[in-house]
């Protein structure tokens, strides 16, 4: 039973239960935001439980290249705030690695600097759409050049910004955040209107650090020139990482698993509602609030899993959880389907195609739509060789599938889990039987 390590390929054997208590790494989305905001705040910020994710290290490295003093000791990151006007031109190109969040959100800050910057990324990030973030920043007066097709690298000329009111054409927390961050550098009030609510960690962190920010329905307004104050911050465990353990726990019939200190911001908990609606029992315990973010423990108890349809309006709140939910669907009575998720095609991989391809390799019946998937229920999964396409969430979703399958599953290029959850396989191994 369990997992045997090799350099790149992980072998997953079927399991009957997950038992014990696990802790997730610090939330990736929140860690990016705390790092960026404390870099342009006044005074020092101490960030506890900072994400171990390689993506968040990319953010720290970019900020260091911009002259910010950062120290990292285990999961405590100390950042000496340079102030709104304190960043310095980087001698080298800024490298966002695999991280869309780094590239898109940092664009908001770079747009407002009086100097030139170039930001690049790895092969996957170099294929991801950037026009969505450059469009509003250009309306604010930023001068930014993209490569052909609206792709990275991005080149910022620097200059003065003016406030705008921007209606997001696609629900995207990254684009919303970029505009709000740029709004700090514009004179007057910048407004962003969301079609549906997306994760609001930027708004909460801005409030916590003393920015002048208003929220009315779907509109968020930020006033330029605010002084942000450095402070002590705590990052809750990442609910998107916890999703793999929730699903694995629910699929293995004898599980008894507790996941501690998971972030429960209501813009991120759609996964709990969907699982509950489909018969997955996840109890929330010991809820508290830290720096404006809710967190608590999750107790996973397997039961009868019904499956069903995920409504398109729930999709933006579940976007990172859809690969593992698709795996979940194969083990439910009715199966699972969703539409309205075309965004999944432009994540770290084309997650609709890659999930469908790998589920079929495991013997499941899957229907692919331009904007979604339908997986049949009551499927017997067979162990298979999984191509991750270098996508961390695919690697973890199919490790979970492997636990519930017959025979051995091989996860190729499994090192990509480092992007969000370097300790994933070790954590899983500790609670597997
Ligand atoms: C994120 C927002 C989502 C999500 C990504 C992290 C964030 O992307 O998929 O993993 O931290 O704001 P979009 O904003 O592109 O939807």
The CA–CA distances, whole Å, from 27 to 258, 330, 356, 373 equal: 17, 28, 27, 27
3-state secondary structure of 26: strand
More confident residue, 108 or 8: 108
User: Cα separation of 203 and 206, whole Å?
Assistant: 5
Percentage above 70 pLDDT, the chain: 98
pLDDT of 7 over the 70 cut = no
Name the pLDDT band for 6 (thresholds 50, 70, 90): very low
- Residue 88 CB: number of other CB atoms within 10 A? 12
172 Cβ inside 6 Å of ligand 1: yes
174 Cβ inside 6 Å of ligand 1: yes
265 Cβ inside 6 Å of ligand 1: no
More confident residue, 433 or 358: 358
Residue of 172, 325, 347 with the most ligand 1 atoms within 8 Å of its CB, for mutation: 172
- Residue 336 has which token pair? 């699972």
pLDDT of residue 248: 98
The CA–CA distances, whole Å, from 92 to 66, 150, 350, 351 equal: 10, 22, 31, 32
pLDDT of residue 105: 98
Q: Report residue 312: phi and psi, to 5°.
A: -55, -35
More confident residue, 299 or 1: 299
**pLDDT averaged over the chain?**
96
* Cβ-contact 230, 45 below 8 angstroms: yes
First vs last Cα of the chain: how many Å apart? 6
C-alpha dihedral (93, 94, 97, 102), degrees to nearest 10: -150
**Atom 11 (ligand 1) nearest CA:** 29
pLDDT of 2 over the 50 cut = no
Residue of 96, 97, 173 with the most ligand 1 atoms within 8 Å of its CB, for mutation: 173
27 Cβ inside 6 Å of ligand 1: no
pLDDT of 66 over the 80 cut = yes
Q: Rounded to the nearest whole angstrom, what is the distance from the C-alpha of residue 428 to the centroid of ligand 1?
A: 25
- Residue 4 CB: number of other CB atoms within 10 A? 11
Segment 331-355 shows an average pLDDT of: 98
391 catalytically annotated: no
User: Cα separation of 427 and 429, whole Å?
Assistant: 5
199 Cβ inside 6 Å of ligand 1: yes
Q: Rounded to the nearest whole angstrom, what is the distance from the C-alpha of residue 351 to the centroid of ligand 1?
A: 14
pLDDT of 201 over the 90 cut = yes
pLDDT of 417 over the 60 cut = yes
Segment 63-78 shows an average pLDDT of: 97
b/e for 167-190, b at 16 or more Cβ within 10 A?
A: ebeebbbbbbbbbbbbbbbbeebb
Positive/negative CA dihedral, 33, 39, 41, 47: positive
pLDDT of residue 158: 83
Name the pLDDT band for 433 (thresholds 50, 70, 90): confident
289-322 pLDDT tens trace:
999 999 999 999 999 999 999 999 999 999 999 9
User: How does DSSP assign 318-355, residue by residue?
Assistant: GGGGHHHHHHHHHTSSS-EEE-S-GGGGGSSS-HHHHH
391 Cβ inside 6 Å of ligand 1: no
* Ramachandran category for residue 340: left, alpha or beta (phi over 0 → left; psi -120 to 50 → alpha): left
Residue of 100, 267, 321, 342 with the most ligand 1 atoms within 8 Å of its CB, for mutation: 100
User: Cα separation of 322 and 336, whole Å?
Assistant: 11
230-283 pLDDT tens trace:
999 999 999 999 999 999 999 999 999 999 999 999 999 999 999 999 999 999
100-155 pLDDT tens trace:
999 999 999 999 999 999 999 999 999 999 999 999 999 999 999 999 999 999 99
> How long a stretch of residues is the chain?
433
Q: Rounded to the nearest whole angstrom, what is the distance from the C-alpha of residue 265 to the centroid of ligand 1?
A: 14
């Amino acid at each position: 039973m369990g997992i045997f390590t090799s350099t790149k390929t992980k072998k997953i054997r079927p399991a009957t239960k997950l038992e014990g208590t696990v802790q997730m790494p610090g939330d990736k989305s929140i860690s990016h935001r705390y790092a960026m905001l404390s870099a342009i705040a006044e005074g020092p910020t101490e960030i506890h439980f900072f994400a171990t994710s390689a993506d968040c290290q990319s953010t720290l490295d970019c900020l260091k290249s911009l002259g910010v003093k950062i120290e990292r000791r285990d999961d405590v990151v100390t950042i000496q705030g340079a102030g709104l006007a304190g960043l310095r031109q980087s001698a080298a190109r800024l490298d966002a690695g695999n991280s869309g969040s780094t590239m898109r959100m940092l664009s908001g800050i770079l747009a407002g600097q009086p100097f030139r910057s170039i930001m690049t990324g790895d092969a996957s990030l170099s294929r991801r759409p950037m026009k969505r973030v450059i469009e509003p920043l250009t309306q604010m007066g930023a001068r930014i050049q993209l490569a052909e097709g609206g792709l990275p690298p991005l080149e910022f000329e620097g200059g003065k910004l003016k406030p705008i009111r921007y209606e997001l054409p696609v629900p995207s927390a990254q684009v919303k955040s970029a505009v709000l961050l740029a709004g700090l550098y514009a004179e007057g009030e910048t407004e962003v209107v969301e079609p549906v609510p997306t994760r609001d960690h930027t708004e909460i962190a801005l409030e916590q650090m003393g920015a002048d920010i208003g929220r009315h329905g779907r509109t968020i307004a930020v006033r330029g020139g605010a002084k942000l104050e450095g402070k002590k911050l705590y990052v809750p465990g990442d609910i998107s990482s916890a999703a793999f353990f929730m699903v694995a726990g629910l699929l293995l019939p004898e599980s008894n698993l507790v996941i501690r200190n998971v972030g429960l911001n209501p813009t991120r908990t759609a996964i709990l509602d969907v699982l509950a609606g489909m018969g997955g029992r996840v109890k929330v315990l010991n809820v508290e609030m830290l720096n404006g973010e809710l967190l608590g423990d999750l107790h996973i108890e397997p039961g009868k899993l019904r499956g069903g349809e995920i409504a398109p309006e729930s999709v933006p709140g579940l976007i990172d959880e859809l690969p593992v939910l698709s795996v979940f669907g194969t083990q439910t009575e009715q199966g699972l389907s969703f539409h309205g998720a075309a965004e999944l095609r432009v994540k770290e991989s084309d997650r609709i195609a890659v999930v469908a391809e790998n589920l079929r390799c495991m013997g499941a019946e899957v229907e692919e739509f331009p904007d979604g998937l339908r997986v049949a229920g009551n499927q017997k999964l067979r162990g298979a060789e999984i191509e991750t396409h270098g996508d961390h969430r695919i690697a973890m979703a199919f490790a979970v599938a492997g636990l519930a399958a017959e025979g051995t599953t091989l996860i190729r290029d499994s090192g990509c889990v480092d992007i969000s959850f370097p300790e994933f396989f070790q954590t899983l191994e500790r609670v597997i039987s």
